[in-house]
Structure 1
Amino acid sequence: MSYLVARMQKMKSQNLGGIQRHNQREFENHSNKEIDVSRSHLNFDLFNHENIDYRDRIMNIIEEQKEGSRAIRKDAVLVNEWIITSDKKFFEGLDQEQTEKFFTTAAEFFEERYGKQNIAYGQVHLDETTPHMHLGVVPMKEGKLQAKNVFNRKELLAIQDDLPRFLEKKGFDVERGEPNGERKHLTVDEFKDMQSRMTEMAKIEEEREKRIKSLEKEKEALERRIKTSKEHIEDKHAPQKPVGKQQVNLKNGQSMTVYLVPEVEMVRMDGIRKASNDVLKENKRLESENKLLKAKISVLERAQIQISNILKQAQKHASRIAEGVFERAITYAKQFHRGTPSEEKVKDRILEDVKESPEGLQDYEKWEKRKKEFEKNRHLER
């Protein structure tokens, strides 16, 4: 069973132009090596039959539902973009029609949960290494744009459980990825980089398996040839019986018995004698080649262990990348640096959408405790 990948990014006004150009391939040149422009014509949008202006489409959705005359904040989250995909092996088991049905079914989940009227786009990319969908959900609720309430932490965790179950009921063999506590969310670039590395590792592993199978077949063929050579040496066919015998007198006055055989038998025996030498040489060469193949297999087995270690290190590295360093730094900025009331107000407004790190809060509590102990000791000294 394959893992489902569902990752979300918050998009503000300044982000819309960039995601529109990327999603709709509105460029002549690009730096993304994963994009095969010869396949870009296969891409499609589940909700729009032609390219759209993302800003106009999203603002229309907001204005049609917005209650009240209060203006939208400049730094408001206008759309939550979800990237929906799985591993390469999963899509290799689907044809084009099944692939489209997979993404259509995933989109249905979001339609039922947040309303079809709030889905701005569902761009499916088939021109990259692994098929995936960029799904734009406008976070409208009760006439208000409120991303923090629509996609809060509880809801994000629920989606990681509910979406795989929804797809599984529809006949797709997927399950949720690692629980949130075991791996933090990666950015899109980090996710694609890690996915590219894992795909490369999978290719190496696949080539290694093919090579081992090829060597095993060669080994079996050599063993059959060795067995045939030995059987030939042993000579399955019994020689013809002598047709008679006679006594031959030697010069030294002694005699010896000589067995008479047909000429054809003599020729056959002489052929066996000559062939035996060739077979023995070939047998020795094959045994030497067999040892060499065993050595190659041993090297491949060691390479397999190294690749396995590389995969483990890659997974650890990915976990460290997403360990929450940014959130921890934000916690330090909020807790340890205190400015004027006006500065604090501006800082809180800028950082209101950024979650603090539990580890950072624990650091701050330890610092506060030590600070109080220091001040208490200093007071006692006075």
Structure 2
Amino acid sequence: MSFAIIRMQKFKAPDVKGMQIHNYREKESRTNPDIDEGRTQLNYDLLNDSRIDFKQVIQSEIDERYTGNKVIRKDAVMLCEFVVTSDKDFFDRLDPDQEKRFFEESLSFLRERYGKENILYGIIHKDEKTPHMHVGMIPITTDGRLAAKQFFGKRTELQQLQDKFHEHVMEKGFSLERGVSSDRKHITTQRLKAMTVKEEIKKLEQEKTEIDSRLNDLKESLDKVKSVDGIEVKERGGLMRPKTVEVGLEDFEDIRLLARASETLRDENKSLKIKNEKLQRDKDAVSLERELLKSENSDLKKDKEELQKENDFLKRTLEKVKEFYKEKIPEFAIVAGYIKASILDKAKEKLLKKYFDKDEIEGAQKFVAKKQKQMEKEKLEKQQTRSRDRGMER
């Protein structure tokens, strides 16, 4: 069964030009041997009739829609790019119109989920071993902020993305299994290539098995055949008519079998070439997996370092805030409890004790009491309104 694969990767300003070069094949790739330059003219963009300048279009969107008061940070995420694909078997089953419809429906899903105005391109690559689509998104929120975290900050978002994307393509008539989500950077491309290599190895093994089977059948037959020197040959003709030779029917069948054997030598040679190619593919697959593990390990280290820095910063900040307000406002813990309760209530979470320190519980209770009073007040106002309405009806 084939899988519905969708992945997302974030890019900062310095990386945007590189994505444009890759997507439009502006330079010859030395790192991606899968690109067949003879098929590059088959690539197309579902949203743009001609090539766009990624950096220029992104800046234009920011100039028009960004409403933040702060200057955008240099390390801000400027582009989020999705890759949509499946395996070769899936695309082999589709005709060109069905393949295009699969990508159109996938693009429609992303535009609906993340905002049509945020989707910049939907470029389909047909010049690699497996067709796939790159979809570019600028992460501008509905209130005008450039904030990738607003879209993808929650760890559950990428999991939900996989779930909803799978449901969408299934509803549109494409029979696929749900893909496996991954929010690691620089991993999925290598993983997909490793999967492609493994698919090719499997096909090569099947072809080798078929050839080996034919060779074994033939070898069993050859064991029963006389040598060429042992076949009795009688000459006929001469003088007035061309010379011919006559052999027994059994000997003739043996000659035919020997002729077939010579032909199968070519198959055997092909089988050896397949074995050699398989060994090379195995080597490539191992190399890709090794690079994959190195990349994962590197990303894990970076994530750990970033999380540690954030944790240390938050701890220092919290301690400073506590020290500052300890002198200024003795009831700081009560205020903190009130604010926590307010945030949890907005998030529609239960106000459980585990969320509050001992000194913060009083603040949470004050919030609950105020909310109950507000609800009672609103209830009373509704009752009074209904009473007035009845009076007017009379």
How would you bin the TM-score normalised by the shorter chain? 0.5 to 0.7
The answer as to whether partners of 2:4 and 2:177 remain within 8 angstroms in 1 is yes
CA displacement at 1:187 relative to structure 2:
2.6
The answer as to whether partners of 1:4 and 1:86 remain within 8 angstroms in 2 is yes
Residues 185-200 of structure 1: matches in 2 within 5 Å? 186-187=186-187, 189-200=189-200
Q: Secondary structure at the match of 1:145?
A: coil
Q: Which residue of 1 aligns with 2:304?
A: 331
Q: Secondary structure at the match of 2:163?
A: helix
Measure the CA separation in 1 of the matches of 2:29 and 2:292. 29
The answer as to whether partners of 1:121 and 1:136 remain within 8 angstroms in 2 is yes
- Mark the runs of 5 or more structure 1 residues left unpaired by the alignment: 227-273, 290-295, 346-382
Q: Secondary structure at the match of 1:78?
A: strand
Residues 180-329 of structure 1: matches in 2 within 5 Å? 186-187=186-187, 189-212=189-212, 214-215=214-215, 218=217, 320-321=293-294, 323-328=296-301
Q: Does 1:148 align with 2:121?
A: no
What amino acid sits opposite 2:33 in the alignment? K
Q: Which residue of 2 aligns with 1:169?
A: 171
Structure 1's 62 and 184: CA in aligned 2 closer, same or farther, altered over 3 A?
A: closer
Structure 1's 184 and 202: CA in aligned 2 closer, same or farther, altered over 3 A?
A: farther
Q: Which residue of 2 aligns with 1:238?
A: none
CA displacement at 1:135 relative to structure 2:
0.5
The superposition leaves residues 114-153 of structure 1 with CA deviations (integer Å, 9 ceiling, x where unpaired) of 1111101111100111111111111121221110120132
The answer as to whether partners of 1:43 and 1:127 remain within 8 angstroms in 2 is yes
Measure the CA separation in 1 of the matches of 2:7 and 2:220. 50
The superposition leaves residues 277-309 of structure 1 with CA deviations (integer Å, 9 ceiling, x where unpaired) of 969x96xx99xx9xxxxxx9xx99xx8xx99xx
Structure 1's 197 and 150: CA in aligned 2 closer, same or farther, altered over 3 A?
A: same
Measure the CA separation in 2 of the matches of 1:49 and 1:188. 28
Q: Does 1:64 align with 2:64?
A: yes
The answer as to whether partners of 1:103 and 1:133 remain within 8 angstroms in 2 is yes
CA displacement at 1:199 relative to structure 2:
4.0
The answer as to whether partners of 2:11 and 2:77 remain within 8 angstroms in 1 is yes
CA displacement at 1:26 relative to structure 2:
1.6
Q: Which residue of 1 aligns with 2:360?
A: none
The answer as to whether partners of 2:83 and 2:135 remain within 8 angstroms in 1 is yes
Q: Which of the pair is proportionally richer in helix?
A: 2
The answer as to whether partners of 1:107 and 1:135 remain within 8 angstroms in 2 is yes
Q: Does 1:30 align with 2:3?
A: no
Q: Which residue of 1 aligns with 2:41?
A: 41
Q: Normalised by the size of structure 2, how large is the TM-score? A: 0.58
What amino acid sits opposite 1:168 in the alignment? M
CA displacement at 1:206 relative to structure 2:
3.7
Q: Which residue of 2 aligns with 1:99?
A: 99
What amino acid sits opposite 1:172 in the alignment? F
CA displacement at 1:74 relative to structure 2:
1.4
Measure the CA separation in 2 of the matches of 1:68 and 1:276. 94
CA displacement at 1:194 relative to structure 2:
1.6
- Mark the runs of 5 or more structure 2 residues left unpaired by the alignment: 226-246, 262-267, 318-394
Measure the CA separation in 2 of the matches of 1:48 and 1:189. 24
Structure 1's 38 and 19: CA in aligned 2 closer, same or farther, altered over 3 A?
A: same
Structure whose CA Rg is larger:
1
The answer as to whether partners of 2:185 and 2:299 remain within 8 angstroms in 1 is no
Q: Taking every aligned residue pair, what percent have the same amino acid on both sides? A: 34
The answer as to whether partners of 2:7 and 2:82 remain within 8 angstroms in 1 is yes
Measure the CA separation in 2 of the matches of 1:47 and 1:3. 25
Structure 1's 219 and 185: CA in aligned 2 closer, same or farther, altered over 3 A?
A: farther
Measure the CA separation in 1 of the matches of 2:72 and 2:118. 17
The superposition leaves residues 294-336 of structure 1 with CA deviations (integer Å, 9 ceiling, x where unpaired) of xx9xx99xx8xx99xx699789758744654432355257649
The answer as to whether partners of 1:109 and 1:163 remain within 8 angstroms in 2 is yes
Measure the CA separation in 1 of the matches of 2:11 and 2:306. 23
The superposition leaves residues 240-298 of structure 1 with CA deviations (integer Å, 9 ceiling, x where unpaired) of xxxxxxxxxxxxxxxxxxxxxxxxxxxxxxxxxx979969x96xx99xx9xxxxxx9xx
Structure 1's 219 and 104: CA in aligned 2 closer, same or farther, altered over 3 A?
A: same
Q: Secondary structure at the match of 2:3?
A: strand
Structure 1's 115 and 334: CA in aligned 2 closer, same or farther, altered over 3 A?
A: closer
CA displacement at 1:4 relative to structure 2:
2.1
What amino acid sits opposite 1:4 in the alignment? A
Q: Secondary structure at the match of 1:14?
A: helix
Structure 1's 25 and 276: CA in aligned 2 closer, same or farther, altered over 3 A?
A: closer
The answer as to whether partners of 1:67 and 1:143 remain within 8 angstroms in 2 is yes
Measure the CA separation in 1 of the matches of 2:181 and 2:138. 26
Measure the CA separation in 1 of the matches of 2:306 and 2:115. 38
